[in-house]
Amino acid sequence: MPSQLGKYTLIRTLGSGANSKVKLGLDKTTNRYFAVKILKKGNPNLDSKFLELVMTEVHTMSQLNHPNIVNLVEYGKDGVVEKSTGVKEPVIYIVLELATGGELFDYVATTGRFSEPIARFYFHQLIEGLEYVHNKGVVHRDLKPENVLYDQFFNLKIADFGFAAPLEGRDGSGYCKTKLGTESYMAPEIHMRKPYNGTSVDLFASAIILFITFTQHPPFTKAVPEDPFYKLLCANRPDLFWKAHSKNKPNGADFFSEEFKNLITVMLQFNPTQRISLAEVKAHPWYNGPVATIEDIQ
Ligand code: ADP
Ligand code: MG
């Protein structure tokens, strides 16, 4: 017997993060499915911190509504999950639009790497969603394949606004300061604990996501000058970076198109002032190449 949370029957686990479990929930009153993000309560010390974080996440999401983001449905601070055994558990919960496809990461891992037109199809949607979020004055700060979902119509959905912050920084300086996110997707300035521009770090992570969808592996382990791959970009030797990545690829040096190499190189620059802006990404020749249609993807 599945657990119950108010009007939602919690059918199965869709995914989990550091502090949460996300369940497939059926709203018994409408027969519609949602994703229900559940945070367990219980530790009074953690609870106040949790609540603050969840409220920030909910507040951010309540300002957003776009086809390329996971939209907020409702939330509750005092939910009770009732298990089939009769055990009751107090929880904080967030009800979200369901991204039926799951994580783009799993999709790439199981179906294989994307062709350029398919990678472009998803990248366009990632950039559209990101542009919307940035225009709303929000930066995401935890973009990674696990937080990029898709639905049954192959609409890409940016999820997990748990680390999102105001674009202008919490102190209005225009910069964020907290080191958070996920190590392998962090821009170098975050590793160096410098104040950073949120739009620039979101774009940096987007380039890594694009690279992964096209190759099934990340461009480097960590964006620090000691990393064997990233050091080549730090030293302004993109030629060596691409040579190293072309090794063992099916068609060697021709595996990556010149436009692709250029876009990734300019998005992953060590110095944030040398990276291209979102508008420049949209004007880039690779971005404007042929795009897969839904028929190509199905
Ligand atoms: P956390 O903040 O703990 O990382 P997320 O919001 O990223 O939690 O959710 C964890 C996982 O749950 C995601 O990586 C994804 O697999 C799944 N998930 C989250 N939201 C949805 C959704 N709206 N639809 C489908 N699956 C989801
Ligand atoms: Mg997450």
Q: What is the pLDDT of residues 227-271, one digit of tens each?
A: 999 999 999 999 999 999 999 888 888 899 999 999 999 999 999
Among the options 27, 47, 106, 142, which is catalytic? Answer: 142
Residue 225 to residue 270: CA distance in whole angstroms: 9
Active site residue 142: yes
Binding site membership of 142 for ligand 1 (Cβ less than 6 Å): no
With a cut of 80, say whether residue 190 has pLDDT above it. Answer: yes
181 or 203, greater pLDDT: 203
Ligand 1 binding pocket mutation candidate from 149, 163, 185 (most atoms within 8 A of CB) = 149
Q: Band of the pLDDT at 5, cuts 50, 70, 90?
A: very high
Which protein residue's CA is at the shortest distance from atom 23 of ligand 1?
A: 98
Question: Which residue, 244, 226, 242, is CA-closest to 234?
Answer: 226
Which protein residue's CA is at the shortest distance from atom 1 of ligand 1?
A: 17
**pTM recorded for the entire structure:** 0.95
With a cut of 90, say whether residue 44 has pLDDT above it. Answer: no
Phi-psi region of 191 (alpha: psi -120 to 50; beta: other; left: phi over 0): alpha
Distance 258 CA to ligand 2 centre (A): 33
Distance 76 CA to ligand 2 centre (A): 19
Mind listing the pLDDT tens digit for each residue in 198-233? Answer: 999 999 999 999 999 999 999 999 999 999 999 999
With a cut of 90, say whether residue 50 has pLDDT above it. Answer: no
Q: Band of the pLDDT at 180, cuts 50, 70, 90?
A: confident
What integer best gives the mean pLDDT of the chain?
A: 94
Residue 79 to residue 89: CA distance in whole angstroms: 8
Distance 238 CA to ligand 2 centre (A): 31
Q: What is the pLDDT of residue 21?
A: 94
Q: Which residue positions form the known binding site for ATP?
A: 37
Q: What is the pLDDT of residue 46?
A: 66
With a cut of 70, say whether residue 55 has pLDDT above it. Answer: yes
Structure ipTM: 0.98
With a cut of 80, say whether residue 103 has pLDDT above it. Answer: yes
Closest listed ligand to the CA of 21: 1
Binding site membership of 2 for ligand 1 (Cβ less than 6 Å): no
217, 218, 219, 223: CA torsion to nearest 10 = -160
Binding site membership of 99 for ligand 1 (Cβ less than 6 Å): yes
Q: Which residues contact 265 (CB under 8 A, 6 or more apart)?
A: 233, 238, 241, 242
Q: What is the pLDDT of residue 243?
A: 96
Which protein residue's CA is at the shortest distance from atom 7 of ligand 1?
A: 160
Quickly count: other Cβ atoms within 10 Å of residue 85's Cβ.
8
